[in-house]
Structure 1
């Protein structure tokens, strides 16, 4: 009975301590978040990250999500578009309560940010998807108008003018003058793009007048760009140059380096007398932009890493302090737990016996699966590859084919003796992969490969190389059997410690949800074995695109 009351007392003490700690951490997180909102750039990013870590401690998922989305927007403004999309996606995972007004607004902002970043990466199809999702969560009229305009811009880039015009017309219903001017400018641009005989000047001049009257510098920049493009298209270079120079002036005033570069490009093309001067300015500015974007890709990762290290150290110090303060309390708690553990010793022992038996059965099944997988890899795919070579070659060497079949036979015999595969020791993995892909080329199928250099595979383990080789072979076999493709390409890239493989063909593709049949299920399993990821792009009009990525070590 005494032990029972002691246990209850310990629970109460721990509950009170936890509640007090949560209140304190919530106050700290809120302080960091408010401070970040008052700052810009690296400083704001730093404090949003601190807020995110504090919200994580108290399990405030909404706070974590809002902090991450703000961090993502800062990354976009600094040119780190890929990083911005990744951070937004991370933030979205914490924004689960879609019935909450703040959460919905944050999700809308996050998807809009991903749409803008995708547009800068010229990935307009994904941009359209993200803007559409942003509209799903938008409630505020200003947000709705903004997302409709952004969606329309992306649709224009894909020449889907009717759909773009529909969104711009909806955006015109806004009561905000600047939002109205933007929608009007965009609508005129879309109509002219669809019909070169359409006169967009009345709408373009009206939009510009509203922006000038309201000192909307960014809006004026957009109007000048549109007007310069229009007059350039109409071969009125004098007017086109006039608006290009006005664009340069307002973009310089707003310190928008991207817009300055665009304006200088227009001027270089239009001003034949002074183009050298402007071209030099463009080169200097473009170099500066490239350096800035390169730094942006790493600077935020460094900030997050440093903060994580500091946070880990702070947590360690807190843990040490808490351990000293609660030493006696923990001792009583441990003793109480031991009393309860004694009661279950016999039950646990019996469960252990059952588990050992189940594990033994599972081990036998796994051995069988492993043997089956080896037979598939060595015999089935090996023979199919030899068949493909014979079929694709107009004059094949009979003795060479027999040698390759004998090689497959010898490898199949080795399976029963669990011998290590040393067949690829003579050639490095890049040569083996190039030879493999080339073997599927014939009169009706062209294969292409890019980026498969020897340096790409440095420090990649033999196990990973073998799995990747089998993955590529399974994709090719699947293509040969099912897709009916005439063009097949593989592109290899390595970014730091990650390798990506982009496979594409112009075959029949996969309709609807991806069904992991035939070799595809084995392919997915192999990618999981090397801690990688696979994405099937089934939305293309024709063909199949697969993105595979995995870590080097």
Structure 2
């Protein structure tokens, strides 16, 4: 088709290509085998022309056509385009992740392994940027299973690079070095290899192995032909910082030159790195100049919405201006807003220990002063402290004993309930269900007396007894994350998509079996309630472990609940199960806007 060939001709202006596409679509009228391809090409042109409303409209037409004609390739490519749109234009990473996942599902239908692996790679990058490093590693491992070692070397190398980055964020420096080395060996792209080499050098810099980092960066800088590029400035900045860390006073010249290049090419993220390194270099010798760099760093970080960079700047400002409480308050506010990611936990505990030590030292100093003034009073007070301490210890031990016994009783009660459920399940399955099945068999083989209605009724009763048996049956608590995945997979259907994040073995480490069973039953109740009542097409479950708490978030886009609507038995049972394991369940229904359930309980 001549119009189609003109439409995909990159040498023609975009508007002219769109006219050819419209002509080809008018002639095709939905009957052509390339109609879906034409619609996707039109969506691509709308995106390139920034005609985003038209992109949505044409996308809906493409979706309907592709679903009716089973053109999963065109639909998957369109959903990939929408993921790219939300990532680059709306900056809505949740929608971008959703569309990447939808595209992956379309490519699974046509067994396009390369595209499946690439979409998983894109999803992992979103997870990494949202600080879900464990989830990102799981997604990347899945991506490796789809990529071909001979055909997809570029993307396999990228997967290794992302795995290294996530390990680095989790402070697993040895694994990070190994994966960066794999990425360097795997890639056939000189540009990508240079990027991976620079990343490898940064790991050595973080470990303060500056000589090793310097050796890598020196060779790398000489191999970059474009001396005014973003990549050249990045390597130059890292090399100059390494030289400064090794005691070279002339290294700041390179830091300034890297900053100048980044300004020329409008690399704002690179400028943040330059200002950070310059501020650190001038912190002690030129504090006024360092303050200027930090102020600029904060301005850019707010413009780009990168709170991590502002936190780094505030750390240096607090060292420069120790009495400025505004810096401390802003630093604490930013830390709280980032939800205390796992990498900050050790720092927070260290701060708590430091504050407690200062407090104890102050108490001891006060006690020593009072003892000097009045020895007799100090002795009396010491005796009171001893008595009070002993009393407190005894009271605390009594409280702990009572608490332990109550918890033990509760655990035994939960185990008794679970044992009873299993016993009932076995009896229902082995006795009642089998007896009903025997009656059905006799009715079917004794002609003349059976009634279709009786057989149907018995079949219904038989299925209900099997359902009861399965609902109260055994739960594999040893491989609990796999049990939950298997449970959730039962509710995945063409009309209901279930997205699960963070469901990994480490979340349930050292969690009591009776709590796992209660959670399993509660999630089962939620999924049954969703299937029966919600009419949801999208369900999201996320699992997180923070400190000694496990947080489960359930969200669907179903019909929700009316404000005056009472909770059914399913939801009440779910609340009771969570309450029995010392947890809380927060229900946030909105009529016609879906249901949100938040579950929080101690491990």
TM-score (normalizing by structure 2): 0.46
- Greater length-normalized contact order (CA 8 Å, ≥ 6 residues apart): 1
TM-score (normalizing by structure 1): 0.49
